[in-house]
Structure 1
Amino acid sequence: MASVLLDLVHLTTWAVCAVIKLPQLVAVLRAGSASGLSLSSLLMELAGHIVFLRYQIYYGYPLKTYLEYPIIITQDVILIYCIMHFSGNAKRALVYALIYWGGWYILTLEKWIIDLAMNVCTFISAASKLVQLQHLWQTKDSGQMSTLTWGMSVYTSSVLIRFIIMLILNIWVTATILHYRKTKKTG
């Protein structure tokens, strides 16, 4: 029963990820504006996704563990282009594309590069959310931000709550072991 439930959660998470940015794209295209969206936030998010995808491929993880990332990356790229187009900077999109394309190859020049990048990947992804929040607080306008897109992000992130809880509990057990460990006295 537990494995069926886990498979269902995995499948629904993948399905949500497959369309996660579509409501945002529709909102931006309908309005002909990307107000409320932070380009810096999306560029950071894209960097985090690219690092994660490249890491998974580099180490030969099964496709099912990262299948949603090429789809999310594609959606992010389209959304970034829309933001740049509506702000009159569409030509700069080529510069960003070249930077990310180069980064894709640089990541695997040496093993330590991809490992280091993966270690900071979570911080980059988290920082992208903080940058979006800062943008919203500064402009005091959510503009074309899609509640549905962000709600789907909440769902896909909530799956990780189990791992966070297990991490905290494992740290707690380890700390308790260390606290109660009796040192052996040699006579």
Structure 2
Amino acid sequence: MNVEAVKMSRDVVLFSLNLSTLLACTVLKLPQIALLTRTKSPKGISVRAIVLELSGYIVLTTYEMYHEYPLATYLEYPALIAQDTVLFLLILHYSGNLRQSLVYSLIYPLRLSVFVGGSQLLTLKSWIIDSAMSLCTVISATSRFAQLQCLWETKDAGQVSALSWAMSTYTCMARILTTVLTSGDLKVLLRFVVMTTLNGWVLATVVFYKRNGQKLE
């Protein structure tokens, strides 16, 4: 196989992975949002996990932009941030914290501007954004452990969408490959390896508790 054929195959694989990841992330949280809206119960869903996840998305997006990586490798994050925000507000609402939900929705634009301003400060020095990226992996991992802890404590995954977690696992696996094929950045690669493992763990836990719940019924 000649060099051009190899390059063409690589481009096709990369395009397919980027496209499938973007499409999956565009609807990734919708099954969870739909399930939460139907059951009207946030039991088993960790608010802390969502807040940590949002922070991780913002830092990762800033890091990728700073290093001028291809837009296709992180284009999905605005959609994920928007969906997580909706999910967070719904959890507050169904937890009986309607006033807190309304207050948060009013001050959200201000909070977002603070986050954006803070993310710009990260880019003042290369070592600052690199350190933030390392911290991002810890934050993202902590968000998954927070979700696992919530499941272990409630022993109920009836309100947690297995489909959303399955898509999360797939997109992280896809991002491992796209990182290898594009930037080869070890910090980004480490994050996606860790997140693939933890997303798979959360998915297995959700499936386990759902099956146990069905047996009890």
Distance 1:123 1:149 in 2: 22
Distance 2:10 2:67 in 1: 28
Q: Which moved more, 1:153-162 or 1:36-45?
A: 153-162
- The CA RMSD over aligned residues, in Å, is 2.4
Contact 1:84–1:93, Cα closer than 8 Å, also in 2: no
Aligned mate of 1:47, from 21, 41, 55:
55
Alignment of 1:73-152 (within 5 A): 73-87=81-95, 88=97, 89-91=100-102, 93-94=104-105, 97=108, 98-109=110-121, 110-111=124-125, 112-152=127-167
Aligned mate of 2:46, from 38, 41, 44:
38
1:124 is matched by which residue type in structure 2?
I
Q: Which one has more relative contact order, counting CA pairs under 8 Å at least 6 apart?
A: 1
Aligned to 1:22: 30
How high is the TM-score relative to the length of structure 1? 0.77
Q: Provide, for residues 16-54 of structure 1, a one-character-per-residue CA deviation record: whole Å limited to 9, x for no partner.
A: 111110101111111122221100000000000011112
Q: Structure 2: any 5+ residue segments left out of the alignment?
A: 1-8, 187-217
Q: 1:24 to 1:96 in 2, by over 3 A?
A: farther
Q: Which has the larger radius of gyration?
A: 1
Aligned to 1:4: 12
Distance 2:150 2:118 in 1: 30
**Matched length:** 166
Q: Which has a greater percent of helix?
A: 2
How high is the TM-score relative to the length of structure 2? 0.68
Q: Structure 1: any 5+ residue segments left out of the alignment?
A: 168-187
Percent identity over paired residues: 43
